[in-house]
Amino acid sequence: MTKIMIDAGHGPDTAGKRSPDGALREFSFNSAVADLVKQYLIEEGVTVIFAHKEQEDVPLAARTKLANNMKVDAFVSIHANAFGGDWNNANGIETFIYPTASKESYALAALIQNSLVSACNRTDRGVKKADYAVLRDTRMPAVLLECGFMTNREEALLLMKKTYRIQCAKAIAFAITAWIYRGKK
Ligand SMILES: [Zn+2]
């Protein structure tokens, strides 16, 4: 059976990870979407394991170690973006993979990015490469998604809305399911 690790980035009290007015904490978005993705994937018969905990900011090394020990088939880290610490016009959705990521990682990233952009109708910032620990230290396809900017007034409002969280989660779960059934497993 396919096992997917879903990672809600950061923790409930992680410093700085919030909108400029403090109304939105990044973890509240990340973890709400993770809960929904889990629900949708279970309906598809996929096993879901969380890398995060609701009460604490699990260190990145513990998250990647758990993924490697559990031998999950993919690691999907959910985030909301920020550009600087004040309101500005940076906007849209982007997905990251490791610079030397496998074709399977890229395929998963492209499916999620396209699915999110079309479901959420936001600017497509594309699939990008970055040396992030959760991408580098995981021994399976790994992607990190940024579902909109907390530093953009319009997107911060969206990120707080249940309807937007459901849109994101459905798009992510749809893409993961498509990736699983494209012959990977
Ligand atoms: Zn983040």
Question: How many whole angstroms from 26 Cα to the centroid of ligand 1?
Answer: 7
Q: How far is the CA of 81 from the centre of ligand 1 (A)?
A: 6
Residue 169 token pair: 């989660």
H/E stretch holding 128 reads: strand 124-129
Distance 82 CA to ligand 1 centre (A): 8
Give the per-residue pLDDT at 182: 87
10 alpha carbon – ligand 1 mean position (Å): 6
Helix 26-43 and helix 162-179: axis angle, to 10°?
50
Contact 148, 120 (CB under 8 A): yes
**pLDDT in the model for residue 105:** 98
In the reported structure, the alpha carbon of residue 41 is separated from the centroid of ligand 1 by a whole-number distance in angstroms of 22
**pLDDT per residue over 143-156, tens digit each?**
999 999 999 999 99
CA of 53 to the centre of ligand 1 (A): 15
CATH code of the domain in which 40 resides: 3.40.630.40
pLDDT of residue 183: 66
Spell out, as residue ranges, where the chain has pLDDT lower than 70.
Answer: 183-185
pTM score of the predicted model: 0.97
Q: What is the pLDDT of residue 59?
A: 98
CA 44 / ligand 1 centre spacing (Å): 27
Q: How far, in Å, is the centroid of ligand 1 from the Cα of 24?
A: 12
**Can you give the pLDDT at residue 101?**
97
- The position carrying tokens 């909301």 is 80
Measure the CA–CA gap between 105 and 143, rounded to whole angstroms. Answer: 7
Look up residue 151 and give its DSSP letter: T
pLDDT of residue 185: 47
Query: Distance between CA atoms of 2 and 163, rounded to whole angstroms?
Result: 28
Domain count for the chain, please give it.
1
CA distances from 74 to 137, 138, 142, 144, 177 (A): 13, 9, 6, 11, 11
Q: How many whole angstroms from 84 Cα to the centroid of ligand 1?
A: 13
Quote the domain boundaries for residue 109: 3-181
Give 40 Cα–ligand 1 centroid separation in angstroms: 22
45: buried, middle or exposed (CB in 10 Å: 19+, 13-18, 0-12)?
exposed
Report how far ligand 1's centroid is from the alpha carbon of 183 (Å): 31
CA-to-CA dists, residue 105 to 24, 119, 129, 150, 183, angstroms: 30, 21, 11, 26, 14
Residue 1 is predicted with a pLDDT of 87
Residue tagged 């990521």 (tokens):
101
Strand partners, 18: 25
Cα(3) to centroid of ligand 1, in Å? 23
- Span from the CA of 79 to the centroid of ligand 1 (angstroms): 4
Tokens representing residue 182 in the block: 């494209």
